[in-house]
Structure 1
């Protein structure tokens, strides 16, 4: 994913959410979640699920952002090393 400004930054994480067009014309969310304290990549990981498909790029991007928020909340509740 190209480096761009984070869509959401708080005290613990940076969330980068965008989308990609699939071969069937629909869209999948693309997500990158970084823990700020140690720059650990929380998403994507090996075996990470595809986010989507969705009919519009906006829906795919919003789904990725929502999923990123869930990952961040889970990391706050039980941080991995």
Structure 2
């Protein structure tokens, strides 16, 4: 018997209600991509990456790829605070 339970969507109240993880990966010679995970901690919902999410890159340096991931993460958080996806 499964013990799955319904977890209702709970909108976030502040930036601290999100877990944002940004990094980069190398994909060939001087081709860096940003890697981003954004999770809303109030209900555990994965906001990024989603099916069909854009790739963040390629960029010529690791620093640029990381910066792009961080900026996109901030954009996802701000958008969810303004208009929560429930």
- Same fold by TM-score greater than 0.5: yes
Q: CA deviation at 1:36?
A: 1.1
Q: 2:32: which partner in 1?
A: 27
TM norm structure 1: 0.83
Supply the distance in 2 between the matched residues of 1:12 and 1:73 (Cα, whole angstroms). Answer: 12
Unaligned runs of at least 5 residues, structure 1? 1-9
Partner of 1:6: none
**Count of residue pairs brought into register by the alignment:** 72
CA-atom RMSD in angstroms:
1.0
Runs of 4+ with >2 A deviation: none
More strand by share: 1
Tell me by how many angstroms 1:53 deviates: 0.7
Query: Structure 2 CA distance, aligned partners of 1:48 and 1:70?
Result: 14
TM (norm. structure 2) is 0.79
Q: Which has the higher contact order (CA 8 A, sep 6+)?
A: 2
1:36 aligned to which of 37, 41, 44: 41
Q: Where does structure 2 lack aligned partners over 5 or more consecutive residues? A: 1-14
